[in-house]
Structure 1
Amino acid sequence: MDMIQDWMIINKIKMGDPDAWDILVHKYYDSVYFYCVRRCYGDCDIASDLTQDIFLKLVESLPRYRFIGKFQNYLYTMAVNTCNNYLKKRHIEQIELTDNFTTDLDTSLIDEILHDERKETVQKALDLLPEIQREVVILRYYHDLKVKDIATITGVGVSTVQSRIYQGLRKLEKVLEREEFYDG
């Protein structure tokens, strides 16, 4: 349904309907903005600027846009790339992953924590993740995207996305345990 709705809105935009832009921006602005907030360590001013940049890039690129896959993936790819470019320019260091895999991670506990009233605490822990893990965890758990869509957006394979999510959740669990944010 969303794909059809997006197709109709974008076709109206391409035909010059200014109201269609308002509909498209209204539909996606908050989601893109909050993605940027989470990627930029909670800095709302930077997130606002990046969100504006993303929608300006969308204005420039939409005439060339062809419906291959979901529009949402196209937009999130722009958001991911814009945030990555910003973070690279700002030289924000990435934390190197030193943990090894185990198979006994309780992801339901992480799901519960991510949706818990302690969102700010979880956000601070999320900010400690390496960028590549934080990116996929945000897309999966805050924006409820499927692993396949995240793979498309980030340009890596499904197994790589699954690994990054797993590693990120495991690291989140360790940070939260260490800080005694929950009984584990």
Structure 2
Amino acid sequence: MDMIQDWIIINKIKMGDLDAWEALVHKYYDEIYFYCVRRCYGDCDLASDLTQDIFLKLVENISRYRFTGKFYNYLYTIAVNTCNNFFKKKHITQIELTDSLVSDSENSLLNEVLHDEEKMLVKKALDSLPDVQREAVILKYYHNLKVKDIAIITGVGVSTAQSRIYQGLKKLEKVLEREDFL
């Protein structure tokens, strides 16, 4: 049903329907924003900037989009590449997620979405993973994507995506078991 709905919206966009753009952004903005928040170690301002960049890239490239798979795979591929390119160009310091980073309006929504992951130990453990494993774990467990979709989004084979998730989980387990981590 979602694929059909996306197909209809994207066809309207390709025909110049501005309301369809609004519908598409409304449908996917929060998902992409919170993916960026997690990739940016909780920096909401940076996540907002990256989310805007992602949707601008979508605007620039929507005319070339072909319905060869799920649209959200295409959108997440743009998101993953945009975040990866940003972090390759600029090394950022990992920061802790605190309420002071979040405006009041974002705070309630962020608390709702990040409810379980705000436990500092889990967040620090996740942030300690290598980027490719962290990315795979975030896509799998925070965005409920299938391994096949993660493989498509990240441009690797299914076995590599599975391996990244498995290795990431093993490392998370080890980090969380270490007493010196506390």
Report the TM-score, using the length of structure 2 for normalisation: 0.83
The letter of the residue matching 1:33 is Y
Alignment CA distance shift 1:46-1:78 (3 Å): same
Alignment CA distance shift 1:118-1:42 (3 Å): closer
Q: Which residue of 2 aligns with 1:104?
A: none
Gaps of at least 5 residues in structure 1 are 94-113
Q: Which residue of 1 aligns with 2:33?
A: 33
Q: Which residue of 2 aligns with 1:10?
A: 10
The letter of the residue matching 1:122 is V
- Please give the root-mean-square deviation of Cα atoms over the aligned residues, in Å: 2.1
Distance 2:70 2:117 in 1: 32
Judging by fraction of residues, say which structure has more helix: 2
Q: Which residue of 1 aligns with 2:109?
A: none
Alignment CA distance shift 1:65-1:115 (3 Å): same
Q: Which residue of 2 aligns with 1:80?
A: 80
Alignment CA distance shift 1:160-1:61 (3 Å): same
TM-fit CA distance, 1:116? 4.0
**Contact 1:151–1:158 (8 Å) recurs in 2:** yes
Alignment CA distance shift 1:163-1:47 (3 Å): same
**Contact 1:38–1:123 (8 Å) recurs in 2:** no
Give the number of aligned pairs.
Answer: 162
Residue 126 of structure 2 corresponds to residue 133 of structure 1: no
TM-fit CA distance, 1:176? 1.2
Q: Which residue of 1 aligns with 2:111?
A: none
TM-fit CA distance, 1:47? 0.6
TM-fit CA distance, 1:62? 0.3
Alignment CA distance shift 1:61-1:117 (3 Å): closer
Distance 2:56 2:117 in 1: 34
Alignment CA distance shift 1:142-1:124 (3 Å): same
4+ residue stretches of structure 1 with deviation over 2 A?
Answer: 114-121, 179-182
TM-fit CA distance, 1:17? 1.1
Identical-residue share of aligned pairs (%): 80
3-state SS of paired residue (2:77): helix
Distance 1:76 1:123 in 2: 22
Alignment CA distance shift 1:58-1:42 (3 Å): same
3-state SS of paired residue (2:67): coil
Q: Which residue of 1 aligns with 2:153?
A: 153
3-state SS of paired residue (1:41): coil
TM-fit CA distance, 1:115? 7.7
Q: Which residue of 2 aligns with 1:107?
A: none
Q: Which residue of 1 aligns with 2:68?
A: 68
Alignment CA distance shift 1:128-1:92 (3 Å): same
TM-fit CA distance, 1:124? 2.0
TM-fit CA distance, 1:121? 3.3
**Contact 1:54–1:79 (8 Å) recurs in 2:** yes
Alignment CA distance shift 1:115-1:178 (3 Å): farther
Distance 1:77 1:25 in 2: 16
Distance 1:143 1:10 in 2: 22
Gaps of at least 5 residues in structure 2 are 94-113
**Contact 2:33–2:51 (8 Å) recurs in 1:** yes
